[in-house]
Amino acid sequence: MTTTTPVSGPHTHAPGGVTSQMGWVILALLPATAFGVYLFGWPALNLLLITVLAAIAFEVMSLRIAQRPVTPFLMDGSALLTGLLLALTLPPWAPWWIAVLGAGFAIVVGKHVFGGLGQNLFNPAMLARVALLVSFPLEMTTWVTPQPMFAEGSPGFIEGLAITFGLAAIPDAMTGATVLGETQTGFSRDLGLSETLPGVYDPMQQALGFIPASMGEGSALLLLAGGLLLMVRRIISWEIPVSMLGTLAALATIFMLIDPERFAGPGLHLISGGAMLAAFFIATDPVTSPSTMRGRLIFGVGCGLLIYVIRTWGGYPEGIAFAIILMNGLAPLIDHYLRPRTYGRTRGGKPLEPKAPAQTAPVTEKRP
């Protein structure tokens, strides 16, 4: 009879879990978010708060309906992150109901209908963005030129509320087109890039984010920094961002070399639109991307390819949300065909035969 109490096996326990992962992602997004809020002023802050609060409210409601414990699921931060990501992809001066509808669509239809966090097929924030873009093309493509907070001419707190709640119209003088939108209209008017781009595209301004854009896709550099932090912390793996941005850049280079007047170069493609935001923060969502390394590489290449095709030949100037949703739909298929070999079994699932002894000995022994 032993007197020692049994202890568990010597398994190490890594710190973390869903809450800590979500926390790191939110932390990595904060610089770009803060910059977006600064750049687009009070209306942007209102929109951000409304989206996040609405996402949390819808999360509580859905958990109640599903009769699950509210506090533990709410504290994992996933609803907060979904709301934040959605807000970052909205035009910063969009009206309040866009935010509420989008948050509701993301949380209820995008996540809880499928069974909650971990069960969803599509990235909830991207799903909501696509639904909003298809339904409300006008509101979703009204971009304002940067109106930094406290700068002269930018709306104050009260004016900001009026814009968010639809009491004041956005002055036409403050709106502008995005670079991607401008290149597409230019193309449809048979103008070459050398005529379209000057005046709307300045690589430095574009990379820093002083451009008409949605709240979070402005500053490519801050997003890149946040993404690298996540990679260093191993919250996200390198495969998706590298293969996605690499494919986008490679395609842009090839077509630019074919016809530089028609196709924009890799620099413009990488730092405009939501490429950085999507590559580091949205496509890397562990729930909706493949789980093997090769799978993630294919996923990233597919995203990059679709983004380039939609941007260049599609009807919309920006195709990131569509590309990611399409690839999300393919992720289970990728995982199915690229299933890694189980240890001790063949690819077909049969147990490995023990290796036959080396056939050095002659098969038939001759008697002396």
Does 326 help bind another protein (rule: CB under 8 A)? no
Does 138 help bind another protein (rule: CB under 8 A)? yes
Q: How far apart are CA 209 and CA 219, in angstroms?
A: 4
Site for another protein in 266-305 (CB under 8 A): none
Q: How far is the CB of 115 from another protein (least distance, A)?
A: 13
Q: How far apart are CA 226 and CA 204, in angstroms?
A: 19
Q: Which is nearer to another protein, 136 or 165 (CB)?
A: 136
Among 34, 66, 134, 151, binds another protein (CB under 8 A): 134
Q: How far is the CB of 122 from another protein (least distance, A)?
A: 12
Span of 129-137, 143-151, 236-244, 277-285 interacting with another protein by CB under 8 A? 129-137
Site for another protein in 333-362 (CB under 8 A): none
Q: How far is the CB of 51 from another protein (least distance, A)?
A: 18
Q: Which is nearer to another protein, 126 or 200 (CB)?
A: 126
Q: Are 240 and 285 in contact (CB under 8 A)?
A: no
Q: Which is nearer to another protein, 113 or 254 (CB)?
A: 113
Q: What is the identity of the amino acid at 118?
A: G
Q: How far is the CB of 19 from another protein (least distance, A)?
A: 30
Per-residue burial over 353-364, b if 16 or more Cβ lie within 10 Å, else e, is eeeeeeeeeeee
Distance, CA of 14 to chain centre: 26
Sign of the alpha-carbon dihedral angle for 38, 249, 252, 300: negative
Q: What is the identity of the amino acid at 102?
A: G
Q: How far apart are CA 213 and CA 206, in angstroms?
A: 10
Span of 135-143, 144-152, 275-283, 293-301 interacting with another protein by CB under 8 A? 135-143
Q: Which is nearer to another protein, 134 or 352 (CB)?
A: 134
Does 113 help bind another protein (rule: CB under 8 A)? yes
Token pair listed for 97: 């109901």
Does 109 help bind another protein (rule: CB under 8 A)? yes
Among 38, 114, 136, 316, binds another protein (CB under 8 A): 136
Q: How far is the CB of 131 from another protein (least distance, A)?
A: 5
Q: How far is the CB of 312 from another protein (least distance, A)?
A: 25
Does 151 help bind another protein (rule: CB under 8 A)? no
Does 131 help bind another protein (rule: CB under 8 A)? yes
Q: Which is nearer to another protein, 102 or 186 (CB)?
A: 102
Q: Which is nearer to another protein, 109 or 228 (CB)?
A: 109
Does 173 help bind another protein (rule: CB under 8 A)? no
Among 19, 119, 135, 185, binds another protein (CB under 8 A): 135
Does 121 help bind another protein (rule: CB under 8 A)? no
Q: How far apart are CA 269 and CA 255, in angstroms?
A: 12
DSSP for 215-282, please give it: TTTS-HHHHHHHHHHHHHTTSS-SHHHHHHHHHHHHHHHHHHHH-TTTS--HHHHHHSTTHHHIIIII
Q: What is the identity of the amino acid at 311?
A: R
Beta strands in the chain (DSSP E): none
C-alpha to C-alpha distances, 212 to 90, 131, 175, 206, 265, nearest whole angstrom:
12, 22, 8, 9, 20
Q: Which is nearer to another protein, 109 or 225 (CB)?
A: 109
Per-residue burial over 156-182, b if 16 or more Cβ lie within 10 Å, else e, is eeeebbbbbeeeeebeeebebbbbbbb
Torsion of CA 174, 178, 179, 180, to 10 degrees: -160
CA Rg value for the chain: 25
Tokens 């850049």 — which residue?
249
Q: How far is the CB of 101 from another protein (least distance, A)?
A: 8
Q: Which is nearer to another protein, 72 or 137 (CB)?
A: 137
Q: How far is the CB of 58 from another protein (least distance, A)?
A: 15
Q: How far is the CB of 323 from another protein (least distance, A)?
A: 18
Q: How far is the CB of 134 from another protein (least distance, A)?
A: 6
List interacting residues with another protein (CB under 8 A).
Answer: 109, 113, 131, 134-138
